[in-house]
Every structure is written in C-alpha cells, then in structure tokens.
C-alpha cells in the first residue's frame, strides 16, 4: 500500500480571474506561492518519501516549494497528472464556459472527457505506487503528487463512488487529499483543506 497525498497547485492569476487554464501553462502568483508554503506546513506533520508533479509550471513550482520546505529531492514529473485539456474552452471565464457548454461533463472540441482524465490519472498513480513499492518494500511509503483541480475532482469522484466532490464544492488551491493506492485500488482516506 502506498499513501498518496494529492495537492492542488497554488493560485495563478487565471485562477483568481476564474479563467479556465487546462493545459495552458500559467505560472503561480504570490498568493500561489503562499498556498504552496501553507500546503508544505500542513504536510510537515507526516513523513514523506518522494514528490511528483504535473509537468505544467504551476504544479512544478508548487512541488519545488513543498520539496524545499520538507527536505525532499527535486520533484519527479508525471505527464499523466497534467490538467484536463479543455480544447476550445481554454482561456474562457468559468461563467462563459458553463453558459456555452452547460456543465463540466461537456467535452468541447479538442477537450478531454472526465473519464479520459480519470483513466490517465489512475494509470499514473499506479506507476507511482509501483515505483514506491520497489524502493521501500515491504513498508508503506508516503508520496506527494502536485496536480490540478480537474484531476483531483475526477479521482475523488472515482474513489467515492460518485459522492465527492459535492455539487458546487470548490477545491481550494493548495488543498490536500489523502488516498491509499495499490494495484487496481484507489481508496480515499481523508480530504483535507489547507
């Protein structure tokens, strides 16, 4: 069993404006750097063995801040933990997107479905969990993965049997969500908000 804490990256100016980022590579703002530091402080109560990040700069910077504060090695990148690609919806304000496409399950031209996001993220977590077991067997290892709101939502939905996140629930920048992972298994332990 591998303990995995998913961390939503810190705030960007597009988050602040409520603009859909998707695969658009937007850096953290100063509040986002503070979000990352607060997440590191919350993570500091538990021992962690490795940190991974989406390749998008906002996740990488968040992961580097956390790694530095916790004394971890440089974050490893996991391409499949990147944010959902929103296609023609990228760059739109959230209200504009919902007015045009009606809901988050919609897949505008060039966008990934939520099922595709879930499946690639589950595959990535399986690879991360397998790698951690090779390093630390037979002990459980604790791994941090810095990723994105859409990815975390899809995994929460999967692990909770569709009951989480609740309708209208916002996953805050810097929020933490703990899971246990094993081959073919992802179990939610606790959602924690920083």
Residue of 61, 83, 85, 90 with catalytic role: 83
Query: Is-catalytic flag, 83?
Result: yes
Residue of 9, 48, 148, 158 with catalytic role: 9
Query: Is-catalytic flag, 9?
Result: yes
C-alpha to C-alpha distances, 33 to 27, 64, 77, 83, nearest whole angstrom: 10, 10, 19, 19
Candidates 143, 146, 150, 148; CA nearest to 181 is 143
Contact 113, 138 (CB under 8 A): no
Q: Which residues make Cβ contacts (< 8 Å) with residue 179, sequence separation at least 6?
A: 3, 4, 5, 6, 125, 155, 159, 186, 187, 188, 189
Candidates 87, 79, 80, 83; CA nearest to 25 is 83
Q: Report the SS3 class of residue 112.
A: coil
Q: Which residues pair with 12 in a beta bridge?
A: 28
Candidates 180, 156, 176; CA nearest to 166 is 156
Contact 97, 38 (CB under 8 A): no
Q: Which residues are catalytic?
A: 9, 83
């Amino acid at each position: 069993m591998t303990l995995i804490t998913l961390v939503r990256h810190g705030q960007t100016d597009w988050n602040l404006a409520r603009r859909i980022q998707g695969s658009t590579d937007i850096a953290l703002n100063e509040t986002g750097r503070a979000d990352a530091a607060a997440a590191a402080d919350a993570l500091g109560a538990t021992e962690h063995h490795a940190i991974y990040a989406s390749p998008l700069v906002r996740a990488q910077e968040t992961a580097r801040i956390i790694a530095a504060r916790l004394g971890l090695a440089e974050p490893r990148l996991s391409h499949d933990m990147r944010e959902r690609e929103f296609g023609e919806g990228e760059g739109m304000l959230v209200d504009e997107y919902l007015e045009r496409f009606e809901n988050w399950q919609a897949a505008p031209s060039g966008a990934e479905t939520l099922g595709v996001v879930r499946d690639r993220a589950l595959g990535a977590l399986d690879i991360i969990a397998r790698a951690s077991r090779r390093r630390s067997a037979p002990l459980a290892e604790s791994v941090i993965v810095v990723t994105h709101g859409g990815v975390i939502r899809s995994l929460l939905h999967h692990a909770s049997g569709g009951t989480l996140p609740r309708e209208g629930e916002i996953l805050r920048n810097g929020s933490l969500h703990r899971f246990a992972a094993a081959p073919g298994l992802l179990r939610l332990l606790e959602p924690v908000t920083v």
